[in-house]
A and B are shown apart, each in its own frame.
Chain A
Amino acid sequence: MTSASLALTGCLSSGAGGNDDSIQIGISLPLTGDFSEPGKGVRRGYEAWADYVNSRGGLLGRKVELTILDDQSNADRVAADYEKLINQDGADLVFGPFSTRLVIPAAQVAKDYGFLFVEPAGAAGEVFNQGFDNLFYAAPAVAEDHYNHLAAAILAMPAGQRPKTAAYAAMDDPFAQGTAYGLKGKLEAGGIRTVVDEVYPPNTTDFGSIAAKIADSRADLVVGGTQYQDAVNLILALRQLGYQPAMAAFSTAPTNPEFAKAIGEQTEGILSPTGYTPDANFPSNKEFVEHYTWMFNSPPNEDEANAWTTGQVVAAAVQAVGCADPAPDCQRRLIDWLHHNEVDTVVGKLSWDATGKPRGAHLIQQYVGGRIRIVLPAETKEADLVHPKPAW
């Protein structure tokens, strides 16, 4: 591998990239296939960021131009795409794709070429134990830390109010399971007993039996390590069995605008970690929401925000270091700068450990009075945590 990358680096320094006026940014995204919905969201976020930067004179006085390829949600293809972007298309910089499964092979290619690799969607723990020193996740927290504020709030409750038992149901997916197990570990350490621990495959269509186990356990707290459709199906299956927990938390689904349409009025009190809210008062967020809404006629979601954040993180490094070209020296300086600095973004201040893991936690949102409100942590909350939750 080393000799191959040396040979390729040789190609690069004499290659097409870096000498013209614009900054070429190479990206591969799942625009078709399993991850096409979030993939398209990430594309909108990247396009909005590039448009915004160009409307303000570009980066280092140079226009940014995006080259976006479709990897069809395919891990083999994503690697070939980044090879092509770096090697043939002369990309000066690369941005990451969507989904852990695509981020890992893409990051490996970027690493082989010595490229900085900032990505909007690698929340699972396994992204950070592959030995990538060029990777940075442009979001507040990895999956295991999503529920940290909730764990702290539960453990701080007076004994009379604190849930005593918890039921966990998680999809067999590194991200979804990571969120639930992050909370499980902390609550178990705090003495909250686990009474159900179910893992189900992504193609599960029937949630009746899982719901039956949870309902039978009468757990005070139910935690779903979920994506979208499984959370909705599980919540309805739990309601159909007449189960009323004092607290219910599900990852991903409640942040989706379709969620309330699917569940109806019984969303009240449901908790969820979220990496982004358009209402957040971080300094650059207002411009982002305005520019994005102007371009796409609707406010941005988390995928779009993470893409924009990726742009912000790379731009901060480029401006600080003063270069944006594929030469190993420039890329190394960009990587080093991010390892030692903090960046102000639309999801708050971001800094990373040596593996590229962000040092933060997600906000915790809750449906209160039919609206999504941030309830934790105390310093950014828009409403008080409602506990116990109203019947669903």
Chain B
Amino acid sequence: MTGSLLLQSLVLGVLLGGLYALLAAGLTLYFGVMRVVMLAHSAFLILAAYLAWFFNVQTGLDPLLSLLVTVPLFFAVGVLMQRLLISRLRPATLTMMSVLLTFAIALVIEGALGLVFSGTHRRIQLPYSGADIRFFGASVPVVKLIAFGLAAVSLASLYVLLKKTRFGQALRATIQHRDAAQLVGINTGRIAGYGFGLGLATAAIGGTALALDSTIYPSLHWHWIGPLMAIIVVGGLGSVPGAAIAAMVLGLGQSLLQLPLGTTWAQTVFYVALFATLLLHPQGFFGGRLAQRF
């Protein structure tokens, strides 16, 4: 193994970790706010990816511009989904029933994508899709750098939103103790709706970032949901910074382990980490104290 290959894998691992962090952020938020296991998150990622592709094909403009439409759209869909569907589930069985409900939603999205766009594999053709920037002898692919940039900006905004705004405080209060939040006058139902919308808005950004450098097809979301679930468990359910750190560690781990072990074994890093977390530290390694209560 040469030094340049190690550096190259390190660079790719960091970029991959950033993308994973963005894709997982919404998932941990849903669980944090509402104890909802949102199996349809990756289906929404693929839906956003298709919308970015469709926007590019129709207008010829850069797919990133589709975010102007998809982010508010997904936010609204998230709020509606929480208010109309999720909030009707009985609290006692919420976590389990949300698995069934969101599984069904994932199937509906997959089926609709297949119906509208067919099963044909699609890819956005960008003038810069093969371009790279040299960095100490390693190549930094431009599209992966853009995806990383999107992840960094989105996660930083999310962090500021949660920490510095009144809505963020209300959301965090709802996450930490719903009853207490209600007692101090927070409309936790509405806040939960917004929290869900926020999660789906990250899916719009994540899906668009994914579409820049991936071939997409309707059933692709099944390949993503496993690793993303592993990331949020390792990171600590409900913790956005935890999910981000776990995503970075696992993305880097996957990229570097691939050198000695090959692709098949490197991919198992997610599941090994998931088992280790559940066995040794069930509340997650990098975040929330939430899971202790469950």
Report which A residues bind B (CB closer than 8 A): 34, 36-37, 172, 198-201, 203-206, 208-210, 212-213, 215-216, 228-229, 232-233, 236-237, 239-242, 258, 261-264, 266, 392
Contact = CB atoms under 8 A, between A and B. Distances in A.
Of listed A208, A216, A236, A239, residue having the most chain B CB within 10 A:
A208
Given A232-B215, A240-B139, A266 B266 contact: no
A212 B129 contact: no
Contacts of A215: 8, 139
Contacts of B120: 37, 258
Indicate the member of B118, B125, B255 with the most A CB atoms within 10 Å. B125
A240 B262 contact: no
Given A206-B254, A215-B8, A392 B130 contact: yes
A263 B123 CA distance: 8
B130 A200 contact: no
8 contacts: A199-B263, A203-B223, A204-B267, A205-B214, A210-B258, A215-B8, A240-B131, A261-B123
Given A229-B121, A240-B132, A241-B132, A209 B264 contact: no
Interface stretch (B9-17, B58-66, B161-169, B197-205): B9-17
Interface in B191-231: 213-215, 217, 219-220, 222-224
B4 A216 contact: yes
Contacts of B130: 236, 239-240, 264, 266, 392
B144 interface: yes
A229 B4 CA distance: 28
Contact of B144 (A172, A200, A208, A209): A208
Contact of A206 (B16, B118, B139, B219): B16
Contacts of A201: 263-264, 267
Instruction: Sort A-B residue pairs by CB-CB distance and give the 5 closest, nearest first.
Output: A239-B130, A240-B141, A200-B263, A229-B215, A262-B123
B215 A262 contact: yes
Contact of B119 (A36, A216, A264): A36
B122 A209 contact: no
Contacts of A204: 263, 267
A203 B42 CA distance: 14
Contact of A209 (B121, B219, B255): B255
A275 to B, nearest CB: 20
Contact of B12 (A34, A198, A208, A261): A208
A212 B223 CA distance: 22
B259 interface: yes
B2 interface: yes
B255 A213 contact: no
B108 interface: no
A240 B144 contact: yes
B123 A241 contact: no
Given A37-B119, A241-B8, A208 B16 contact: yes
B213 A236 contact: yes
Interface in B162-193: none
Nearest to B227: A205
Contacts of B16: 206, 208
B21 to A, nearest CB: 14
Listed residue (A199, A206, A229) with the most chain B CB atoms within 10 angstroms of its CB: A206
Interface string B123-145: 10100011110000001011110
B9 A209 contact: yes
A201 B129 CA distance: 24
Contact of A261 (B119, B125, B224): B125
